[in-house]
């Protein structure tokens, strides 16, 4: 099936470039023409994704097939799909630069022309609680306030990217991580600049 092939390709790519290490993170895709999505199983790494541990669920969260249980962050994926009919893929990773940069303010600065044009903005959402369910109201409010939003970063958690394809969602997550690294480096450079003047 095309959705599963795309999930496998993008999971492997994310693992290979260390956008997500270990067994964290998850990704999903909408099944065209059906009220179904397919999502990575809980507990397996992006590198371990196989057709059988990609879990098919209804938009109400009922499991249709697949070995194991769906990712614990299924509720977040479902909230995005329900609120955004245009979204065909959701990608989530605990990427270090994005998480570090999210601790600095209400948004990760889109410091490059590429990030500005492709993402628009990268808002940071503060955690409302330790469970995905506790954070749903804030996520829904964010999506309601900006119908064109394609990404946000959850403080101390990671990137959520969503687009009209799984591949584009993963591309945008890569761009968030790249942008966060550049923004952090630029902020560090500004912090160090006065010291360099004093040394000279
Ligand atoms: Zn997570």
| pLDDT tens track for 142-183 | 999 999 999 999 999 999 999 999 999 999 999 999 999 999
**Residue 34 CA to ligand 1 centre (angstroms):** 26
Helix (H) or strand (E) holding 4: helix 2-16
- Scan for tokens 């095309």, then name that residue: 2
**Residue 134 CA to ligand 1 centre (angstroms):** 13
Look at residue 195 and tell me whether its pLDDT is greater than 70.
Answer: no
List of residues 6+ apart from 83 with CB closer than 8 A: 140, 143, 144
**Residue 191 CA to ligand 1 centre (angstroms):** 31
**Residue 32 CA to ligand 1 centre (angstroms):** 25
**Residue 141 CA to ligand 1 centre (angstroms):** 19
**Residue 198 CA to ligand 1 centre (angstroms):** 43
Give the chain's domains with CATH numbers. 2-192 (3.40.225.10)
**Residue 20 CA to ligand 1 centre (angstroms):** 10
| pLDDT tens track for 120-150 | 999 999 988 889 999 999 999 999 999 999 9
**Residue 150 CA to ligand 1 centre (angstroms):** 17
d(CA 28, CA 124): 22
Which residue blocks in 46-165 are alpha helix, DSSP H? 74-83, 96-102, 113-119, 132-145
**Residue 160 CA to ligand 1 centre (angstroms):** 9
**Residue 156 CA to ligand 1 centre (angstroms):** 10
pTM: 0.94
**Residue 117 CA to ligand 1 centre (angstroms):** 26
């Amino acid at each position: 099936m095309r959705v599963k092939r795309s999930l496998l390709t993008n999971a492997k790519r994310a693992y290979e470039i260390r956008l997500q290490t270990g067994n964290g993170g998850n990704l999903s895709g909408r099944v065209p023409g059906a009220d179904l999505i397919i999502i990575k199983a809980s507990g397996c790494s992006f590198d371990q994704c196989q057709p059988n541990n990609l879990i098919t669920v209804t938009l109400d969260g009922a499991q249709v097939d697949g070995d194991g249980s769906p990712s614990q962050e299924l509720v977040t994926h479902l909230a995005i799909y329900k609120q955004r009919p245009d979204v065909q893929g959701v990608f989530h990773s605990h990427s270090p630069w994005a998480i570090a940069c999210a601790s600095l303010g209400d948004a990760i600065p889109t410091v490059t022309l590429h990030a500005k044009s492709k993402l628009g903005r990268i808002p940071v959402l503060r955690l409302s609680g330790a469970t995905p369910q506790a954070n749903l109201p804030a996520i829904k409010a964010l999506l309601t306030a900006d119908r064109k939003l394609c990404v946000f970063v959850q403080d101390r958690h990671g990137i959520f990217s969503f687009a009209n394809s799984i591949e584009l969602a993963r591309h945008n997550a890569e761009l968030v991580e790249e942008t966060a690294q550049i923004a952090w480096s630029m902020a560090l450079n500004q912090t160090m600049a006065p010291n360099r003047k004093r040394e000279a």
